[in-house]
Each structure stands twice: as C-alpha cells, then as structure tokens.
Structure 1
Amino acid sequence: MYPNGSVLSLVLTLHSLELPETSIYPAFIFGLTTYLFILLCNVTIVVTICLNRNLHKPMYILLLNMPINDAMGATNLFSQLLYNILSQDTSISYPACLLQGFIVHLYGGASYVILTAMAFDRYIAICSPLRYGAIMNTNNLVKIISGMWLFNFAVIIVLFSLFLNYKICQTHMTDLICYNPSIMKLMCEDTKVNNIYGLFTLVLYHILAFSVVAFTYIHILITCVTNKQSDAKNKALQTCGTHLVVFLFLEFNTLFPLVAHRSESVPAYIQKSCMCEHWLVICINTAKLCPCTRCPYTLLHILDFSL
C-alpha cells in the first residue's frame, strides 16, 4: 500500500506493446509520421481560418475548436506512446499518469460539446437563417465557446480530484495509457464513488449531445425535404453528413471501451484493443477535416452555404 504522501514520487508501469526488436523502429517511424500528419492537418486548418477574414464567422470559429482539441489529444497520446516504443520504457510517474488521464477525458468531453455546439449552429443557420445573425452574434459565440470549455473542464477536474482520497495498492497498469477506469484499478479502497461519478459524466455527455444532435438533425432534415432549392439541399446534406459520421463514430468509440472496462466478463485482450480506438478517433477526425488531403478550401467552402 502506498500512502497519499508518497504518491508524488510513485512510478507506475504501463502495459507494454511487446514489440519484437525488429519492429521497434518501423513502429516508431509510423507513429511519428502519423502524429506529424495529424499536427500538420490541424495546424493548417487553424492557420487557414485565422488568416482568412472571410472565415471569421461563427461556424468557422466553432470549427476552429475541433483541430485545437484534436492536436491536444494527439500530443497527449502520441508523446507517451512514441517514447515507450523507442525507449522500451513503460514507466510513468503517478502525477504524469493523472495528467495524461485528465487530458484524455478532457479531449473526449470536448469532442462532444464541440460537435453539440456545431449542431446547434447548423440548426439555426438552416432552420432559422433570418435570425442567424442575431442569435450567433459575437457575444453569444463567446459565451457558447467559453461555456462549453468551462463546463467540460469542471466536470473532468472533479472526476480526477476524487483520486486524491484514495491509497494505491499496485503500480502495474493494465492499459497502454492512463485514464479513469485504468487508474481506478490501482486503488486499494472501494472506488464506488468514482465509478458512479464516471458513469454519471458518461451519461451526461451522451444524453446531452445525443438529444441536441437528434433534435437539430430532425428539424434540419424536415427543412431540407421541404426546401425546393436543390443546391441548398445538397450543401446542407454535405455539411451535416460529415458532422453526423464523426459524431456517430465518436459515440461508438466512447461507449464501447468504457463499458468494456467496467464489465468483468469482457476478455482482457478486448479491453486492451479498445484503447487503440482513441488514436483511431483522432486520425478519423483529422482525415475528415484535413485540407491537406484535398484542395485547401474545399471543406470550408462546402460548409459555407447559408451565411
């Protein structure tokens, strides 16, 4: 048992990828290339929106949060992974583990609130275009962006502050990265409070996001069906289709791993394989948004149909 006073110097051991020596450098190069590609794409989107005054509109400002969040999530996950692959050292300090877990959940929660805010923006733009300027003005936009990040930060900081009350019994992690379910397995005492609050946050994010997205997309679909302008229909479907695919993929990626970790009947290899989906989500989001894989302004012009 490790008392609370010694946890700052405690060193944990993450689960190893168990790569053969001949695969270490190819795996590192592949991972580094993937990470640099993600950064390049996300930075390109940020720079494109920031430098083009025509894109200083509510829709693009909301979209700007997505590449920033993806870059944060990728840096958090790939930095530790690449170090582990190259050095074959899977050790991590307990404070660093908590920080990594905090950012993992902050990234996941932010993905939900950003997509929810974007769904609301598209709903106003398509269903109430004449009121769009009044509703999505600068003051309201600042409130929406500040509110979604503050809400997300507050929920996650409470989740990880609960660990301060527990003592640690073991130092071997069963996962490749640190996050709430894997950290709970290290604790000596009953983690029922953490588990209940973790499930509460999971339900909160999913119900909030799903309710808003379902409500907005039903009304958008009705508007598109009743709209006689074929160009408006196509542009609306292109915009909302990409958004919906990302949202549904995020739903599956978040629910399945967390439920798998909370069920003792799920085999360990399935629980571990679920962790790969965290990197996959970032790659999928990047591929959907990245202007490096297409003409620089294709994505942004597809989105701009109602302003």
Structure 2
Amino acid sequence: MENSTSVSDLLQLEGLKVTSSSSVPVFVLLLLTYIFILVSNLGLVVLISMDRSLQQPMYLLFCNMSVNDVFGATVIVPHLISDIFVPSAERYIYYIDCVTQAFFAHIYAGACHSVLMIMAFDRYVAICNPLRYATIMTGRMVAALSVSAWLVVLFLVGILVGLSARLSRCRWTIFNPHCDNASLFKLSCESVLINNIYGLSSTVLMLGSSIGSVALTYLRIAIVCLSSKNASLNSKALQTCATHLAAYIIMLLAGLIVVILHRFPQLSDHRKLAAMLFHVVPPATNVVIYGLQIKSVRQKIFMLFIRKTLTLTEK
C-alpha cells in the first residue's frame, strides 16, 4: 500500500531539453548566472542595510525586488541544474514538491508586479510631492507598503494553487521545465472551469492593477516635469524613472512572451525556454540596472572596490 501511494505521488518532470553536446555549456551558463544573481542581489541588500546614507525609502523598497529576484531564481534554477545530466525519462519530482514549486514560482511572478507598483508610488511622491516626501514615506509607510505587496500576492496565489491541488489526478507527467499552476490542473481529468475563471480573473486583476498604476503614475510624473522649469528636478526624475521603467518593461516583456507563446502549441519548446528565462533574465538585469544607474549606489560600490584593492595592495 505504501509503495502504491509513493508511486502515485511521483511525477515525471520534462525539465530543460538539452542535447548531450550542449549539456555542459548550459550547465556552466546556468550555474554562473545563478551565482551572479545570488551574489549581486544579496550583496546590494547587505550594502543598503549597512550603509546609513542608503537607508532611504527608494533603496529600502528596492530590497524587496532583490530579495524577490533571489527567491525567484532559487525556486527554479537549482532544480534545472541538477536535472541537466539526468535523462528526460528519469526526471521525477514528488507531487507535494511540485505544488510547492508552483506556489513559490507564482509568488515570484506576482511579487514582480506588486513590488514594482509600490516603487512607482515612491517615485510619484518623490517627484510630484517633494516637500511632503519625508512626511509621507516614513519608515512605517515603507514597511506597510512592503508587507502589503507580499500579502496580497500570497493571498491570490494561495487560492490559485489551492484550487489546483484539490483536484484528483489521472496523469503523471509535467510537460514543462518546472511546475506551475497550469501544469498542476492539467494532471486532472476533472472540470477545471473554476481554475480557469479564477486564474484569468486574478491575472487580469494583477496585470491591470500593475500596468494601470504604473501608466497613471508616470503620466502624472510626465505632466509635472513638462510643466516644471526646474532642470535639476527633470534630470533627477528622468534618471530614476528610466531605471524603474527599464526594470518594469523587462519583467513585463519576459512574462508576456510566455503568455503569447501559449497561443501557439507548435512553439511549445520556445514557450518552455521563455518560462525558464523569466526566472533568470529579470533577476540578473535588475541589479545591474539599479546598481549601475543609480549614482549613489554606483559610487558606494566603486568606493568599496577601491578600498579593497588598496588594502590588498598594501598587504
């Protein structure tokens, strides 16, 4: 009885399709990319937390993005790396682990939107209400925005994955590089109408809120900049807004490519690759965009680098 239960809980995971000749280069590339994501994002969080001059609302809110990027990459990449040298027919994952991976993968995707929304609000207050910025963006407000960004996503994703986990299973193969909500309910032969309705509704809600709030925020910022003759204000707004918009557009395009490719079954391999890149490209680029484009962060990184270089030279 225990053996039959364990077998029924074991799923075959397609994973990442690579040829034997390309397995080593793919392994090295993924490993180096994952190490870069970990070191750069966590390093930036440590730098912000240790340097008092960087403990401003904008940078503290950015820590949410860095933590989420590390989280999103860790959910997917290590499992992909460990399966590269395993034949496709021998790649297995326990159902409970698949549900957990799907839950965390969707948490990452949802938090990408919610975190960037609260960062857009911070830029709006800083540029449109600069005199009230310190009174509005207090430590309590930063904490409240950060907590709300995660709690809303936890609530929506918890229901989403819970609806799929309740279904019985008649299939045991995940045709995807990793587990997600669609992979879970496709294992069932029951009606998934409720899953589709809720999934579509929550996606429209999150995307609509994200795109709508960011668009309205930057429209308001553009109006303020156009009506202002303050060159310093406009230059600062352009720098900070361009950085935030670049991160948002990269994330949005990476997600939309996956959604669009779902409409073309003949491009399933491309969709699977895009789904994997969604957990790799934004986490790797966000830290570069913010670390190198924000002047104060860039100066702190260069100062630390020069200080360490001088210390090693003296030794």
Q: Tell me the TM-score normalized by structure 1.
A: 0.88
CA positional deviation for 1:9: 5.8
Task: Kindly state the Cα deviation for residue 21 of structure 1 after the two structures are TM-superposed.
Answer: 2.8
Cα drift, residue 6 of structure 1: 4.4
Q: Say yes or no: does 1:54 pair with 2:49.
A: no
> Could you tell me how far apart the structure 1 residues matched to 2:129 and 2:231 are?
18
* Number of the residue aligned with 2:178: 177
Are 1:58 and 1:141, in contact at CA under 8 Å, matched by a contact in 2? yes
SS of residue paired to 2:123: helix
SS in 2 for 1:297: helix
Aligned 8 A contact 1:12 1:91 in 2: yes
How far apart are the structure 2 equivalents of 1:7 and 1:282?
35
2:43 aligns with: 44
1:49/1:8 CA distance change after superposition, 3 Å: farther
Letter in 2 for 1:77: I
2:228 aligned residue: 227
Q: 1:272 matched to which residue of 2?
A: 272
**Greater Cα shift, 227-236 or 195-204:** 227-236
Q: Deviation of residue 49 (structure 1)?
A: 0.4
Opposite residue 45 of structure 1, the aligned amino acid is: L
* Secondary structure of the corresponding residue to residue 92 of structure 1: strand
Structure 2 counterpart of 1:198, which letter? G
State the identity %. Answer: 33
CA distance in 1, matches of 2:231, 2:22: 52
Asked whether 1:254 is paired with 2:252, we answer: no
Q: What residue number does 2:98 align with? A: 97
- Map Cα deviations across residues 7-62 of structure 1 (whole Å, 9 max, x no partner): 89611112243433333233212211110011111011101100011122211111
* Pair 1:220–1:299, CA change in 2 (3 A): farther
Q: What count of residue pairs does the alignment treat as equivalent? A: 295
**Cross-structure match for 2:210:** 209
Deviation at residue 71 of structure 1 after TM alignment? 0.4
Separation in 2, partners of 1:56, 1:280: 27
1-structure distance, mates of 2:32, 2:179: 23
Q: Give the drift of 1:198.
A: 1.0
Specify the SS of the correspondent of 1:204: helix
1:130-151 deviation digits (Å, cap 9, x = unpaired): 1111211122222111111111
Q: Give the TM-score normalised by structure 2.
A: 0.86
Alignment of 1:82-93 (within 5 A): 82-88=81-87, 89-93=90-94
Q: Gaps (5+ residues) in structure 1?
A: 302-307
The whole-number CA distance in structure 1 between the counterparts of 2:260 and 2:52 is: 44
Whole-angstrom CA distance in 1 between matches of 2:295 and 2:86? 38
Note the residue ranges of structure 2 that are not aligned, 5 or more in a row: 302-315
RMSD between superposed Cα atoms in Å: 2.5
SS of residue matched to 2:21: helix
| Deviation (angstroms), 1:294 | 9.9
Q: Which amino acid aligns with 1:215?
A: L
Give 1:304's aligned residue: none
Tell me the equivalent position of 2:119: 118
Distance 1:16 1:139, change over 3 A: closer
Structure with the greater relative contact order (CA < 8 A, sep ≥ 6): 1 or 2?
Answer: 1
Match of 2:66 in 1: 67
